[in-house]
Structure 1
Amino acid sequence: MLPVPNLDDRMFEQMVMEARKSIPKLFPEWTDENEHDPGITLLELMSWMTEMQQYYLNRVTEKNERKFLKLLGIRPREAVSAVCDVAFSGVQQQLVLPKGTPLQAMDQHFETLRTVQLVPSTLEKVLVRTETAAGDFTSNNQAKIAYYAFGSEAIKGAHLYLGFDRALPVDTEISLSFQLYDRYPVHVSHPKDAATPIISSAKVGWSFAGAGQDQGQQQGQSESWLPVEGVSDTTVHLSQSGEVRFRITSEMKPMALYPADDRSRYWICCTLEEDGYELSPKIEKVSLNSVQAAEQETFSEVIAFRSNGEPDQSFEVSTYLAFGGLHTVQVQDEQGRWRDWHIVAELEDHGPDDLVCQLLQDSVRRTTRLRFGDGVNGSIPPQGAQRVRLIAYTAEFDYSRYVGGSKGLPGQTFEVARGRTYKPSSMLLQVGYRPRGSHCVVWDDWQSVDDFDNSKSTDRHYVYDAEAGTIRFGNNEAGLVPPKSVEPNIRFLALQAGGGERGNVKDGLVTGFTEEPGVSVTNPFPARGGLEAETLTQAKLRVRRELDTPTRAVTGEDYERIAKATPGLRVARVKAIPLYKPGMRDYPKVKAPAQMTVAVVPYSESDKPKAGKGFLQTIKGHLDRHRLLTTELHVIPAEYIKITVHAVVVMEPKYKNEQRRITQELRLLLQPMDHVQGSEGWRFGRTVYKGDIYGVISRVKGVVYVQDLWLDAEGTGFHKDGAGDIHIPPYALVYSGNHEVETISQTDL
């Protein structure tokens, strides 16, 4: 960290003395330097003002630092909630768990992040079949021991079979969660602006054993396998951990599969239709009836709908609070003000001007539906986006959602319940008032801001101080003052607590679930991603890192750093070649203006990591968002040149049989990357000199000298000079062939 300079380093007397000493040099005609001289008085005045300025400049408070960060567009981040996958078991019948269903991990509150359909089936068998082998990995899946989904080579035509004890229901959304092994030396990049979609280099297809087959048919007949109806795939064809959701379109048929042919089961098959994985996927856990959950607790939520302005509108939603909580319905009028509409049992009992609606709930699907009138029985909501709101909140929050009543004074401060970490981004605050001549209360939304610096007198802004647990309003100059009210007229519509490192619980701790007797829940893997609210010191360190991070690709180094940060990919090595276009000859003597070629190497367990088409498209899409418009970009896979060393080495007698050690050292030298540490190997485009080989062999213990040495190469784009050195193109790397090393004892010469 840079040292903080002391700006208040001169006293008043020192400044006056320095100024008086400068008079003869700057203005020799000045002769009167006594205290009564007006000029001396002015010098003392300016010295005093300078000393005061230095004093205040040296006092950089936390408030000043926050202002400086704001000028850079940086604000300390709020607390982040931990996230984990939870799997439900013991399901005896189809069950819908709406979004926001509460779970418990000791004293930590978790909530599901989407609505999930639980089915009464159990995953009993996991089989992997390739052209050369078949294996049962059920025990691996239960013990969370990684196994290859399509074999170590992941060749086209490999199958992953998932066997269930009973048929999956037809026309029901099935959710399968895949946790892939990811503890590799090269990590996946997760930048904050991950706007580039990931494109897989391989393609998988999903099918199920359908009812169309005969009992005597064998599993190899293609007509017995029917395609599923895909809903979503966040695994990107099993390229990353995620979730696959699909529907079975017809009745499933039980069948027995080798090697798990002990009895018939109901099978789902994942087939590798197009190979090309940079890294063959390894599965740690496949889970049925799984959904993501976050460490958070929602007290109140708002679901907004678009109104088309037509009669008999209805809106449906599936969340836990909407189904089991208390409700308030709001509609925005033509003046942009929100009014509470009454929830009634029947619309037919009301007139055309009545602001009423009907709330209907489906206990099987766990859905809540709002129904509005037709202009005869009940009023029609005005047309517009997000003109209708359903506010759902817990019964305990019914009273505490009101912050208080405004006194109409500037700079009012209200306390919020302490002891919880509230998320400022989840807050929605409203202030109510009665318009003149009206008996009904209308409500306006107020926006949370960091401070009132940019707030005008008409802006409905407030500042939430998480540390103090207070909400502060403006003064009619910077921020509007809430209207005065005798009754509480400031309330929360949406409020959520959560975030922090305590949410990063270990695996198996999310076990609290009381919504359905007999159904249990657990998290197979630890919760991750929970962070405390960022301190000012952490924010200052982050801004230094971000200022050093390139956001525009101009130089070759910019392209390399941005390409390595491509979201969702394990990019091991990158080489940017400016003024080069693929296919050019005699580079760098001949250059192509406005051209940039980027050669990439994915992390792989292969000796020649090869980037597939999806890998290249993903990186190109990411770089296109950062490159200059005048630059034509090309993203290509690295070329590999196989180097084979032929050597005759004279050894000390006791080390005569050390050919293997020499070969190992040559392989360590001639490799594109270190697979163990994930570090870089041979430099892009670097010539393979015989002197490099001499040096490596000579360092092996027991070597006396190298008697003879020559190199062979295989690949495209290289050439061998008269000295026997191998020159490779700038986008190429080398890898080891089968080296031939002959050792001769020194005594045999």
Structure 2
Amino acid sequence: MLPIPNLDDRMFEQMVLEARKSIPKLYPEWTDENEHDPGITLLELMSWMTEMQQYYLNRVTERSERKFLKLLGIRQRDAVSAVCEASFSGVQQPLVLPQGTPLQAMEQRFETLQSVQLVPGGLEKVIVRTETAAGDFTSNNHAQIAYYAFGPMPRKGAHLYLGFDRALPANTEISLYFKMFERYPVAIGKPDPAASQSSSAMIASAKVGWTFAGADQDGQSESWLPIEEVGDGTAHLSQSGEIKLRISSEMKPIALYPADDRSRYWLCCTLEEDGYELSPKIEKISLNVVQAAEQETFSEVTSWASTGEPDQSFEVSSHLAFNGLHTVQVQDEQGRWRDWHTVASLQSCGPDDRCCELQQDSARRTTRLRFGDGAHGLIPPQGTQRVRLIAYPAAFDHARYIGSSKGLPWQSFEVSRGIVYKPGSMLLQVGYRPRGEDSVVWEDWQAVDDFDNSKSTDRHYVYDAAAGTIRFGNNEAGLTPPKSVEPNIRFIRLQAGGGARGNVKEGLVTGFTDIAGVSVTNAFPAQGGQEAETLDQAKLRVLRELAAPTRAVTAEDYEAIAKATPGLRVARVKAIPLYKPGMRDYPKVKAPAQMTVAVVPYSESDQPKASAGFLQTIQQHLERYRLLTTELHVIPAAYIKVTVHAVVVMEPKYKNDQRQIVQQLRMLLQPMDHGQGAEGWRFGRSVYKGDIYGVISRLRGVLYVQDIWLDAEGTGFHKDQVGDIHIAPYALVYSGNHEVETISQTDL
């Protein structure tokens, strides 16, 4: 960081003294330098003004720092809501839990983030069967003790069986949540918010398939039938997430070893294609789980596109839409929103009436809007996002109006008393009556951080969370809302929440009153809640983000970006410029415009091998950053097995201590750091006999090394005349079965 100079480095007395000393040289005729002289008074005045100017120039206020951050494209982050997985039990019949259903964790309010189909049933047994063993891990699943989904060494054909106490309903979406063990030394790459969903999608390393125990086509013999997979958020059990399944026919109970005490209803997950870098380890499998966030929604908006055809209908599954009050809006050809009223039947509406039917399905907990055909009710004009349903609780009906505009510049309105809203969730409308019309039209206004870039026609406002106010512009920087005698400024979308207080412990999300007999809990703590970013935190983040590569130009850029691949645990990366796979005599011979990236996944194996999906995911991620003229290759690291044969002369009492020598050699010749203090062998580094001499000679009891020779197995290496082993630039070494012979000094 550049040093900050001190601009306030001259005091008032110093400036007056310097000015008085210059008088004899500049103006010899000026002889009266006493305090009563007007010239001295002017010198003191100018010195005082200069000192004040220096003082303010030397100050960098918070406002200035925020402007500097804005120049760098950085804004302070808002508070983030904590998220947990809420699991429901006691369900006696299939029912839908709509999005936004409120939950309670002591004083904290949570809301479900999506709609979920709750089905009756409980998970009674969890069985893992491989080629060599079968185990019952039900107690592990209940106690949340991690267990392998397909054994420690997953092979094709391994099975994970889930036994339920009753048949799961057919032709119904069933949600299973898998909480995977994730506390590994290498963290998983975080998603890039700037990347599109398709470009950042993770390609699974293995493939699983789902079946269920049912009856054959004749309905007689038992059979394992395929299941329709609606969605898989786990990437084939590679990460925590939700799997949605749909069973096509009735389940049949069977007895399955080793849980053959009685018949149960089974789902089976089969490993169809192996290739996991890290064997999937499960902490808990849960039925009827949905993600919930610490937040409170005061008003929400659901929008649809209109085709302009008669008898259009739109449906939404939302707690507020089902239980709250409603305002229906349709956008006219001028881009203004008009409130339409709801009626019991469209037959009572005329051709020019702005009306629609609002119907609710209590079984599915959905809300449906139906519009007219031109004879009974107007038809919404064609266009995207032309129809809206605004839903809000009855208690917020009056509070959603924040006031009426006086038509003056810099108007400010108080919007919260002790509540901090999410700026990203705000959508504000300002209404006015056009000339010659009786009805009010509404226009959307956008929230901005400040009015620096706002023009006189921009409908912008600023939300000050600290003061709890909404501020409008002055018709030069931001438009001023039109004057109105009635309240004409209202929220149509508003949400509060966020902060570290939402990171509640497990088992605290228990408040749920929507459905009698159904209870809720969170098996794991809520995570991710963060307070709003302070100015100091934002400045530190700037330093980190400026240092992070945004383009892959140098080899270091490629390595840093590959390590941060979303969804993967990348342990080691080596970028090899001007190298193309299959080349010989590198680096003497180089390939222009080529970049090869060798990767090592995190694994519990001594030779971590990247699967095709792992390599494709990294390649797909790097393609967004590479230069257009660079051809990119992502390859797995190669492994060379190195075996050391040594004859070591020891002190007599350490003669039989070969184990410490072998242990040190294994720590030296390993591709990864397994927590033993070693860094892992460097890519492409030759194995010199001098390295082995040095490691052994430093050990306790070693007098000297009498002889050493090295053996190697693998491809792409060569052994020179002195016995050193030279490997390819994308290769690493691992230990073989070292043979160490120790000789006592007294035996020589």
Contact 2:206 2:276 in 1 (8 A): yes
**1:118: which partner in 2?**
118
Give, in whole Å, the separation in 1 of the partners of 2:23 and 2:159.
Answer: 92
Give, in whole Å, the separation in 1 of the partners of 2:541 and 2:383.
Answer: 41
Residue 703 of structure 1, CA deviation: 1.6
Give, in whole Å, the separation in 2 of the partners of 1:454 and 1:629.
Answer: 34
Give, in whole Å, the separation in 1 of the partners of 2:270 and 2:43.
Answer: 87
Give, in whole Å, the separation in 1 of the partners of 2:425 and 2:453.
Answer: 22
Query: Helix, strand or coil: the match of 2:139?
Result: helix
**1:27: which partner in 2?**
none
Give, in whole Å, the separation in 2 of the partners of 1:125 and 1:704.
Answer: 60
Residue 648 of structure 1, CA deviation: 1.4
Q: Deviations over 1:31-84 (max 9, x none)?
A: 767669xxx999999988876653332121111111111111111000000011
Give, in whole Å, the separation in 2 of the partners of 1:53 and 1:512.
Answer: 60
**2:137: which partner in 1?**
137
Task: Report matched runs for 1:601-680 at 5 Å.
Answer: 601-676=600-675, 680=679
Going from structure 1 to structure 2, the CA distance change for 1:690 and 1:106 (only over 3 Å counts) comes to: same
TM-score normalised by the chain length of structure 2: 0.95
**Does residue 747 of the first structure (1) align with residue 746 of the second (2)?**
yes
**2:205: which partner in 1?**
201
Contact 1:76 1:536 in 2 (8 A): yes
Q: Deviations over 1:555-579 (max 9, x none)?
A: 1111111111111111111111111
Residue 652 of structure 1, CA deviation: 1.8
Moved more, 500-509 or 737-746: 737-746
Moved over 4 A (4+): 1-4, 11-24, 30-36, 40-53, 213-218
Going from structure 1 to structure 2, the CA distance change for 1:565 and 1:475 (only over 3 Å counts) comes to: same
Give, in whole Å, the separation in 2 of the partners of 1:43 and 1:730.
Answer: 73
Give, in whole Å, the separation in 2 of the partners of 1:397 and 1:585.
Answer: 73
Residue 678 of structure 1, CA deviation: 9.3
Structure 1 unmatched runs, 5+: 25-29, 219-223
Query: What amino acid maps onto 1:81 in structure 2?
Result: S
Give, in whole Å, the separation in 1 of the partners of 2:44 and 2:372.
Answer: 80
**2:100: which partner in 1?**
100
Query: What amino acid maps onto 1:254 in structure 2?
Result: P
**Does residue 566 of the first structure (1) align with residue 570 of the second (2)?**
no
Task: Report matched runs for 1:86-485 at 5 Å.
Answer: 86-193=86-193, 195=196, 196-212=200-216, 224-485=223-484
Query: Helix, strand or coil: the match of 1:205?
Result: strand
Contact 1:573 1:680 in 2 (8 A): no
**1:518: which partner in 2?**
517
Give, in whole Å, the separation in 2 of the partners of 1:556 and 1:21.
Answer: 62
Give, in whole Å, the separation in 1 of the partners of 2:219 and 2:437.
Answer: 75
Query: Helix, strand or coil: the match of 2:580?
Result: coil
**1:75: which partner in 2?**
75
Contact 2:215 2:221 in 1 (8 A): no
Q: Deviations over 1:256-291 (max 9, x none)?
A: 111111111111111111111110000000000111
Residue 255 of structure 1, CA deviation: 1.1
Contact 1:277 1:612 in 2 (8 A): yes
Give, in whole Å, the separation in 2 of the partners of 1:188 and 1:468.
Answer: 39
Give, in whole Å, the separation in 2 of the partners of 1:611 and 1:364.
Answer: 48
Query: What amino acid maps onto 1:695 in structure 2?
Result: G
Residue 676 of structure 1, CA deviation: 2.8
Going from structure 1 to structure 2, the CA distance change for 1:414 and 1:573 (only over 3 Å counts) comes to: same
**2:37: which partner in 1?**
none
Give, in whole Å, the separation in 2 of the partners of 1:319 and 1:679.
Answer: 54
Query: What amino acid maps onto 2:255 in structure 1?
Result: A
Q: Deviations over 1:180-225 (max 9, x none)?
A: 001011111215435411111111111111221889968xxxxx21
Q: Deviations over 1:3-22 (max 9, x none)?
A: 64322213577679889999
Residue 168 of structure 1, CA deviation: 0.9
Residue 518 of structure 1, CA deviation: 1.1
Going from structure 1 to structure 2, the CA distance change for 1:385 and 1:364 (only over 3 Å counts) comes to: same
Q: Deviations over 1:469-528 (max 9, x none)?
A: 000011111111111111111110011011000100111111111111111111111110
Residue 391 of structure 1, CA deviation: 0.3
Going from structure 1 to structure 2, the CA distance change for 1:23 and 1:269 (only over 3 Å counts) comes to: farther
Contact 2:667 2:678 in 1 (8 A): no
Give, in whole Å, the separation in 2 of the partners of 1:677 and 1:301.
Answer: 54
Query: Helix, strand or coil: the match of 2:556?
Result: helix
Query: Helix, strand or coil: the match of 2:581?
Result: coil
Query: Helix, strand or coil: the match of 1:342?
Result: strand
Residue 614 of structure 1, CA deviation: 0.8
Give, in whole Å, the separation in 2 of the partners of 1:215 and 1:264.
Answer: 18
Contact 2:94 2:120 in 1 (8 A): yes
**1:692: which partner in 2?**
691
Query: Helix, strand or coil: the match of 2:259?
Result: coil
Going from structure 1 to structure 2, the CA distance change for 1:681 and 1:18 (only over 3 Å counts) comes to: farther
Give, in whole Å, the separation in 1 of the partners of 2:235 and 2:28.
Answer: 83
Contact 1:572 1:678 in 2 (8 A): no
Q: Deviations over 1:415-469 (max 9, x none)?
A: 0122222100000100111111111111110110111111111111110000100
Query: What amino acid maps onto 2:696 in structure 1?
Result: I
Give, in whole Å, the separation in 2 of the partners of 1:308 and 1:365.
Answer: 26
Moved more, 351-360 or 208-217: 208-217
Going from structure 1 to structure 2, the CA distance change for 1:675 and 1:283 (only over 3 Å counts) comes to: same
Going from structure 1 to structure 2, the CA distance change for 1:679 and 1:422 (only over 3 Å counts) comes to: farther
Give, in whole Å, the separation in 2 of the partners of 1:736 and 1:355.
Answer: 79
Contact 1:185 1:678 in 2 (8 A): no
- Aligned residue pairs total 738
Contact 2:668 2:680 in 1 (8 A): yes
Give, in whole Å, the separation in 2 of the partners of 1:553 and 1:15.
Answer: 54
Contact 2:668 2:678 in 1 (8 A): no
Going from structure 1 to structure 2, the CA distance change for 1:582 and 1:258 (only over 3 Å counts) comes to: same
Identity fraction in percent: 80
Give, in whole Å, the separation in 2 of the partners of 1:660 and 1:217.
Answer: 59
Residue 254 of structure 1, CA deviation: 1.2
Query: Helix, strand or coil: the match of 1:336?
Result: coil
Query: What amino acid maps onto 1:200 in structure 2?
Result: A
Give, in whole Å, the separation in 2 of the partners of 1:576 and 1:20.
Answer: 67
Moved more, 185-194 or 266-275: 185-194
Query: What amino acid maps onto 1:250 in structure 2?
Result: S
Query: Helix, strand or coil: the match of 2:260?
Result: coil
Residue 680 of structure 1, CA deviation: 3.4
Give, in whole Å, the separation in 1 of the partners of 2:572 and 2:677.
Answer: 10
Structure 2 unmatched runs, 5+: 32-39
Give, in whole Å, the separation in 1 of the partners of 2:52 and 2:26.
Answer: 29
Give, in whole Å, the separation in 2 of the partners of 1:706 and 1:132.
Answer: 45
Aligned-residue RMSD, C-alpha: 2.4
Residue 89 of structure 1, CA deviation: 0.7
Give, in whole Å, the separation in 1 of the partners of 2:582 and 2:713.
Answer: 19
Contact 1:35 1:41 in 2 (8 A): no
Residue 2 of structure 1, CA deviation: 7.0
Residue 143 of structure 1, CA deviation: 0.4
Going from structure 1 to structure 2, the CA distance change for 1:107 and 1:532 (only over 3 Å counts) comes to: same
Query: What amino acid maps onto 1:206 in structure 2?
Result: W
TM-score normalised by the chain length of structure 1: 0.95
